[in-house]
Structure 1
Amino acid sequence: MRIAGISGSIRDDSYNSMLLKHIKEHYSNYFDLEIIKIDKLPLFNQAEELDPPEVVKTFKNQIAEYDGVLISTPEYNWSVPGVLKNSLDWLSRGERPMIGKPVMVVGASISLMGTIRAQMDLRRILSAPGISANVLPPAQSEVLITQAHEKFDENGKLTDKATLEVVERAVKNFNEMLKVGQRV
């Protein structure tokens, strides 16, 4: 199975990108995870929704080709980053490749609260009529990495044992959801 990974942070040394890389490296026996960059997408413009710029068409086509999507989001001002919301706005208009697509939401932050508010908002966005993704429930997938600067080493490797166990459980549950989806 092929999964698209989207990091809600476009920063080079993003903990959310590191989390996606960890999942890509450690769970390739479950699925092939390709990290899709969203930093070049223009701001959503409703006047262009039916004939978007080429970079948007490419992005939407990429998402359509994958069996599922894994989104790793930081929390900015108690919600999702604008760059992530912008990418979802493009996916919700015109061709809508997210409808029914299996999605897992995770996140990492240096705060004590992790990304709980951002993930709650992201789940609401993903349930909007234009997106209608099939999001793995929090009880099966909750990965809220708090104090990420203490859980990743200087090489960007996730090292915290308890966090590794949480990630493993969630990824296994996502893999099960993907397998069920393939049988339908």
Structure 2
Amino acid sequence: MKVVALVGSLRKDSFNMQLVKTIEKRYSNRFDMEIAEIGNLPFFNEDDEKTPPEVVVNFKNLIAGADAVLISTPEFNWSTSGVLKNALEWLSRVDKPIAGKPVLPMGVSQGAMGSLRAQLHLRQVLSSIQATTMPPAGNEIIIGAAGQKFSNGELTDEMTLKFLDMVIDKFVEFVGEQNN
């Protein structure tokens, strides 16, 4: 199974990137994962949607070739980041490579509520662009108090890791069901 991850934070020491890299390492026996670079995408412009720059074409092809997508979002002003929203705008136009694609939203923040509100907005956007999101009930990876749960660049909190194991198991099954 090939999974592409989008990380909605460009910060060098992003907890969302640390979460994705933890997943990449921890579940390398379950799937191959590639982290898409979204910080280099130009701002979406309808004038360019039919003939996008090569970086956008490559990004869209990466998503089209994936079996599933993970999206890890920080919470900025109760919503997703602009860089993540921009990437989703490109994926929603013309050939729409994310339409019908199984997606697992997740996120990390320093606050007590994690990225709850950002994920609510993310799910609205994913619904509008016809992505197939994993049902949220019991599957929401919302990690708050990040500074206490990550160490040396990876997630180390045992309770959170056990929950992550459970959700990733269900996600792999979900992807299998969606792709049959």
Q: How far apart, in 2, do the equivalents of 1:115 and 1:109 lie?
A: 6
Q: How far apart, in 2, do the equivalents of 1:30 and 1:141 lie?
A: 18
Root mean square deviation, CA, Å: 0.9
Q: 2:108 — aligned with what?
A: 108
Read off the aligned partner of 2:133 and give its amino acid letter. Answer: V
Q: 1:143 — aligned with what?
A: 141
Read off the aligned partner of 1:46 and give its amino acid letter. Answer: E
Alpha-carbon deviation of 1:101? 0.3
Q: 1:36 — aligned with what?
A: 36
Alpha-carbon deviation of 1:28? 1.4
Q: 1:46 — aligned with what?
A: 46
Consecutive unaligned residues of structure 1, counting only runs of 5 or more, are none
Q: Is 1:124–2:121 an aligned residue pair? A: no
Written as runs of structure 1 = structure 2, the 5 A alignment for 1:3-82 is: 3-82=3-82
Q: How far apart, in 1, do the equivalents of 2:10 and 2:101 lie?
A: 23
Q: 1:158 — aligned with what?
A: 155
Deviations 1:44-73 (A, max 9, x none): 101111111111111001100000000000
Q: 2:172 — aligned with what?
A: 175
* Equivalent residue pairs, number: 180
Read off the aligned partner of 1:78 and give its amino acid letter. Answer: W
Consecutive unaligned residues of structure 2, counting only runs of 5 or more, are none
Read off the aligned partner of 2:71 and give its amino acid letter. Answer: I
Alpha-carbon deviation of 1:140? 4.2
Structure 1 residue ranges (4+ consecutive) displaced by more than 6 angstroms after TM superposition:
none
Read off the aligned partner of 2:20 and give its amino acid letter. Answer: L
Q: 2:131 — aligned with what?
A: 133
Q: Scaled by the length of structure 2, what TM-score is found?
A: 0.97
Equivalent residues of 1:105, 1:141 under 8 A apart: no
Deviations 1:123-179 (A, max 9, x none): 000011xx20110011142110001011001x1121111111111111111101112
Q: How far apart, in 2, do the equivalents of 1:145 and 1:93 lie?
A: 31
Equivalent residues of 1:101, 1:134 under 8 A apart: yes
Q: How far apart, in 2, do the equivalents of 1:179 and 1:140 lie?
A: 19
Alpha-carbon deviation of 1:181? 2.4
Q: How far apart, in 2, do the equivalents of 1:65 and 1:35 lie?
A: 13
